[in-house]
């Protein structure tokens, strides 16, 4: 009888029967290994969580008082005889690929990833495996990212031009990951950085984890409008077009997202300016990452899964689509709406990977 695969796809998430644990499950389970703290991967309600050290404070902030064990990249944990270890995914600070090994059979779950170094997340590290479970949010050949230095030069000169034209500058990026990546690359000689509460809460959680971030100021009802107008505002996508944003007076609204690569998608978001900046791998990035694993089989969880798996099969990989509830173009899940609302009400700001959900 052929051996049961080490990992399987269930209606609760990716499951290891041998080790009795799930990876990024979307329904409550006893034992969950979490790739990163975005809401579509880190759901509430599990009995026990395992994640990377740098995700600790963000997970506690978002999910409350959970039972959480955190580890370093490369550190080995044995669960019922199955070896589990985390490797950098380069997606956001603390994001990890999960390597699962048992009797020579190796699986890697990528979570979300990008292959280019963003200067703030630990850079992506290819891990050799037999089975690679990959995302493909931007798995279409029309997506090619430029080096981020080029994008940040555009952003900083846009900010300067706004200051010259007496316009406030508001830049939108999701709270965990994009916001910090932007923050660390802003030209602070232009002015101060003001943050929306949802972003500042994450900043605080990361600082508590020992991450050094540029100074920021949380916007409150008493922050003087004229001061804000001399700086730059970082806001989550849900704030775009809101009353909160209108109080800054005449402003220019910039969006940072991989979706800005397509003119129609950019126009739909009604931003003044779109910057093509993504925390996911582009077409070439995905293919190079998959090649580097030397895997025998590829499973595609979310994004343009149908197109991308067909192409991978044509160029010689054994690839297939699998059904998950992770954010993504083809199988966007309803949780995203709740995520947006929660960010607005700030009761439970469990911001997900809005870029992966196609929202940003």
Partner 1 sequence: MKAFAQLFLSLDETNKTNEKVKILKDYFISVPDSDKMHMLALFTGRKPKRQINATLIRNWAIEASNIPAWLFEESYHVVGDLAETMSLLMPPNTSGSNKTLTEWIAEINTLGHKIEEERKLWLIGSWAMLDTQERFVFNKILTGGFRVGVSQNLVIKALADIAGLEAATLTHRIMGSWMPETYQYKQLIAEQGIADDISRPYPFFLAYPIQETSERQRSAEELKGVLGDASHWQAEWKWDGIRAQMIKRDGKIFIWSRGQDLATDKFPELHPFLNALADGTVIDGEILSFRGGLPLPFNVLQTRIGRKNLNKKILEESPVAVIAYDCLEYAGEDIRPKKQSERRHVLEQLQAATAFPEVFRLSALISFNSWEELAVIREQSRSMIAEGIMLKRKSATYQVGRRRGDWWKWKIDPLSVDAVMIYAQKGHGRRADLYTDYTFAVWDGDQLVPFAKAYSGLTDQEINKVDNFVKRNTIEKFGPVRTVKPELVFEIGFEGINRSTRHKSGVALRFPRILRWRLDKPKEEADTLDTLKALLGG
List residues binding partner 1 (CB under 8 A).
140-142, 144, 261-268, 270-274, 304, 307, 310-311, 314, 329-332, 334
Least distance from partner 1 to the Cβ atom of residue 268, Å: 5
Query: Which C-beta is closer to partner 1: that of 39 or that of 120?
Result: 39
Asked if residue 297 lies in contact with residue 318, where contact means CB atoms within 8 angstroms, the answer is yes
Q: How far does Cα 205 stand from its chain's mean position?
A: 16
Query: Which C-beta is closer to partner 1: that of 19 or that of 236?
Result: 236
Query: Which C-beta is closer to partner 1: that of 272 or that of 344?
Result: 272
DSSP class of residue 212 equals: -
| All residues at 6 or more sequence positions from 238 whose CB lies less than 8 Å from its CB, including other chains | 198, 340, 341, 343, 344
Q: How far does Cα 212 stand from its chain's mean position?
A: 19
Query: Which C-beta is closer to partner 1: that of 102 or that of 304?
Result: 304
Select from 165, 187, 140 the least CA-distant residue to 330: 140
Least distance from partner 1 to the Cβ atom of residue 240, Å: 12
Query: Which C-beta is closer to partner 1: that of 71 or that of 262?
Result: 262
| All residues at 6 or more sequence positions from 242 whose CB lies less than 8 Å from its CB, including other chains | 344
Q: List the structure tokens of 4.
A: 């049961």
Least distance from partner 1 to the Cβ atom of residue 331, Å: 6
Pairwise CA distance, residues 34 & 49, whole Å? 7
Least distance from partner 1 to the Cβ atom of residue 287, Å: 12
DSSP class of residue 239 equals: G
The total of other beta-carbon atoms located within 10 Å of residue 76's CB is: 11
Query: Which C-beta is closer to partner 1: that of 128 or that of 320?
Result: 320
Least distance from partner 1 to the Cβ atom of residue 244, Å: 18
Strand order of the sheet with strand 48-52? 8-9, 14-16, 21-23, 31-33, 48-52, 68-71
Least distance from partner 1 to the Cβ atom of residue 272, Å: 6
Query: Which C-beta is closer to partner 1: that of 22 or that of 255?
Result: 255
DSSP class of residue 18 equals: T
Pairwise CA distance, residues 235 & 257, whole Å? 13
Least distance from partner 1 to the Cβ atom of residue 300, Å: 15
| All residues at 6 or more sequence positions from 346 whose CB lies less than 8 Å from its CB, including other chains | 197, 198
DSSP class of residue 54 equals: G
At 327 the three-state DSSP class reads coil
Least distance from partner 1 to the Cβ atom of residue 129, Å: 26
Asked if residue 332 lies in contact with residue 358, where contact means CB atoms within 8 angstroms, the answer is yes
Residues pairing with 69 in the sheet: 50
Least distance from partner 1 to the Cβ atom of residue 336, Å: 8
Query: Which C-beta is closer to partner 1: that of 127 or that of 357?
Result: 357
Angle between helices 283-292 and 305-314 (to 10 degrees): 50
Query: Which C-beta is closer to partner 1: that of 124 or that of 159?
Result: 159
């Amino acid at each position: 009888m052929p051996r049961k695969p080490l990992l399987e796809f269930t209606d609760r998430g990716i499951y290891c029967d041998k080790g009795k644990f799930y990876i990024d499950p979307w329904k409550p389970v006893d034992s969950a290994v979490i790739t990163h703290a975005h809401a579509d991967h880190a759901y509430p309600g599990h009995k026990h969580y395992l994640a990377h050290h740098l995700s600790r404070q963000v997970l506690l902030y978002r999910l409350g008082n959970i039972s959480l064990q955190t580890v370093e990249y490369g550190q080995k944990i044995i669960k019922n005889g199955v070896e589990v270890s985390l490797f950098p995914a380069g997606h956001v600070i603390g994001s990890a690929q999960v390597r699962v090994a048992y009797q020579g059979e190796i699986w890697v779950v990528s979570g979300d990833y990008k292959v280019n170094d963003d200067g703030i997340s630990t850079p992506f590290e290819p891990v050799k495996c037999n089975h690679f479970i990959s995302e493909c949010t931007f798995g279409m050949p029309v997506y090619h990212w430029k080096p981020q230095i080029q994008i940040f030069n555009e952003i900083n000169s846009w900010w300067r031009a706004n200051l010259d034209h007496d316009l406030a500058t508001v830049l939108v990026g999701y709270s965990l990951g994009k916001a910090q990546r932007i923050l660390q690359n802003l030209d602070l000689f232009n002015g101060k950085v003001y943050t929306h509460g949802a972003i500042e809460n994450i900043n605080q959680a990361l600082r508590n984890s020992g991450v050094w971030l540029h100074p920021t100021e949380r916007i409150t009802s008493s922050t003087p409008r004229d001061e804000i107008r001399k700086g730059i505002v970082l806001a989550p996508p849900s704030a775009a077009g809101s009353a909160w944003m209108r109080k800054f007076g005449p402003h220019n609204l910039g969006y940072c997202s991989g979706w800005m690569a397509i003119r129609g998608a950019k126009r739909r978001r009604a931003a003044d300016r779109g910057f093509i900046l993504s925390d996911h791998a582009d077409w070439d990035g995905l293919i190079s990452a998959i090649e580097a694993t030397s895997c025998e089989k590829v499973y595609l969880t979310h994004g343009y899964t149908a197109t991308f798996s067909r192409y991978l099969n044509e160029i010689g990989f054994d690839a297939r689509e699998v059904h998950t509830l992770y954010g993504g173009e083809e199988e966007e899940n309803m949780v995203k709406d709740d995520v947006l609302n929660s960010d607005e009400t700030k009761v439970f700001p469990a911001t997900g990977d809005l870029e992966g959900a196609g929202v940003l």
